């Protein structure tokens, strides 16, 4: 199976407030994006020649309008950006999770998938642990493991992100192995896809990994994980879509911004172009 994931981060904030959104008012943004891409996604899915899933991860406020805009039977799946490490349960807790987004809450909203372990989430958790004086490098992975388990128990599929920072490159095998083995311990892996993020290469002016490096990483991740699907999470774009499609050990990609110069931001028609380039249709 091929996978086209879309992480819309906080692209809903208007440009006038420091964001990148120029395509729709925030209150209409999630539904607008779904309405603009769903017909194109259906055509891509029909033309791809193999089973392909299309998942878009939205900030929570946009989940309901996005689901309302989705046509019945359309292959677009709606997901959320992270879940809490605990949840409601009969005889346990019926809702005392103020400020936290639980897996069963987003499942009740009709989400089908969740993004867990993105480098931005990892950095946030590591920062909190540092403030608490925790130096155990596996602690973040243990917290993420609890999130993955809650998501799978609630019936969500998971895109689980891993990746090494610049200071970790010399021991990348050790870092990725820990993220996989600890983060996915005791998890039904059939419900999980792994996204590899080269954290050391993310940001303006940095050189992205080449085909050889991505191939090496993907093959290692498959070896450690027991053959799980692996997608490139460093950004599926117009300029790398065809290259990534040529790597047998890569099973898809994660799209974020579609335009990096001029009026930077996410544009639905460019998302469809990138997906089409990767799928060769």
Per-residue pLDDT of the chain (281 residues; tens, 9 = 90+): 999 999 999 999 999 999 999 999 999 999 999 999 999 999 999 999 889 999 999 999 999 999 999 999 999 999 999 999 999 999 889 999 999 999 999 999 999 999 999 999 999 999 999 999 998 989 999 999 999 999 999 999 999 999 999 999 999 999 999 999 999 999 999 999 999 999 999 877 788 999 999 999 999 999 999 999 999 999 999 999 999 999 999 999 999 999 999 999 999 999 999 999 999 99
Instruction: Return the pLDDT at 120.
Output: 97
Could you confirm whether 118 is annotated as catalytic?
Answer: yes
Q: From the CA atom positions of the chain, what is the Rg in Å?
A: 18
In angstroms, the Cα distances linking 6 to 131, 186, 213, 233, 245 are 32, 27, 23, 10, 17
Could you tell me how many helices (H) and strands (E) the chain has, helices first? 9, 8
Residue 117 structure tokens: 């372990």
Nearest to 180 by CA among 137, 215, 220, 224: 224
Q: 32: Cβ–Cβ under 8 A, 6 or more apart, which residues?
A: 23, 24, 69
Which residues lie across from 52 on neighbouring strands? 2
In angstroms, the Cα distances linking 119 to 187, 196, 234 are 20, 10, 10
Distance, in Å, from the CA atom of 17 to the CA atom of 20, rounded to the nearest integer, reads 9
Could you confirm whether 3 is annotated as catalytic?
Answer: no
Tokens 């959104």 belong to residue: 21
Any idea where the domains of the chain sit in the sequence? 1-81+235-281, 82-192+201-209
According to DSSP, the β-strands at 2-7 and 252-255 are parallel
Cβ–Cβ < 8 Å for 25, 17: no
CA 224 to chain centre: 20
* Region of residue 252 (left: phi > 0; alpha: psi -120 to 50; beta: else): left
Distance, in Å, from the CA atom of 114 to the CA atom of 110, rounded to the nearest integer, reads 12
The active-site residue, picked from 118, 121, 147, 164, is: 118
* Region of residue 263 (left: phi > 0; alpha: psi -120 to 50; beta: else): beta
Largest CA distance in the chain: 54
The active-site residue, picked from 53, 121, 164, 197, is: 197
Instruction: Return the pLDDT at 204.
Output: 74
- Based on the number of CB atoms within 10 Å of its own CB, is 227 exposed (0-12), middle (13-18) or buried (19 or more)? exposed
Residue 29 structure tokens: 């943004």
Fold classification of 82-192+201-209 (topology level): TIM Barrel (3.20.20)
Instruction: Return the pLDDT at 202.
Output: 87
Residue 278 structure tokens: 């990767």
Condensed to tens digits (0 to 9), the pLDDT of residues 230-266 reads: 999 999 999 999 999 999 999 999 999 999 999 999 9
């Amino acid at each position: 199976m091929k996978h086209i994931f879309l992480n819309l981060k906080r692209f809903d904030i208007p440009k006038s407030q420091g964001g990148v959104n120029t395509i729709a008012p925030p209150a209409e943004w999630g539904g607008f994006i779904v309405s603009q891409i769903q017909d194109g996604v259906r055509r891509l899915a029909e033309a791809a020649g193999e089973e392909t899933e299309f998942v878009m991860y939205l900030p929570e406020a946009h989940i309901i309008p996005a689901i309302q805009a989705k046509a019945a039977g359309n292959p677009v799946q709606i997901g959320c950006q992270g879940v809490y490490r605990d949840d409601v349960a009969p005889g346990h807790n019926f809702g005392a999770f103020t400020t936290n987004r639980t897996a069963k809450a987003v499942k009740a909203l009709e989400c089908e998938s969740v993004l867990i372990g993105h480098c931005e989430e990892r950095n946030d958790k590591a920062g909190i642990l540092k403030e608490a004086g925790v130096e155990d490098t596996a602690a973040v992975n243990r917290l993420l493991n609890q999130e993955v388990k809650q998501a799978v128990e609630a019936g969500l599929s998971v895109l689980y992100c891993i990746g090494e920072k610049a200071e970790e490159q010399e021991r990348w095998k050790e870092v990725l192995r820990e993220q996989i083995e600890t983060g996915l311990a005791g998890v039904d892996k059939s419900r999980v896809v792994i996204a590899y993020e080269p954290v050391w290469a993310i940001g303006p002016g940095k050189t992205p990994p080449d085909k050889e490096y991505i191939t090496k990483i993907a093959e290692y991740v498959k070896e450690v994980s027991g053959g799980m699907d692996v997608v490139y999470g460093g950004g599926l774009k117009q300029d790398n879509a065809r290259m990534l499609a040529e790597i047998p050990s890569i099973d898809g990609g994660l799209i974020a911004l579609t335009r990096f110069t001029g009026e930077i931001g996410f544009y639905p028609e460019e998302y469809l172009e990138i997906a089409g380039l990767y799928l060769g249709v």
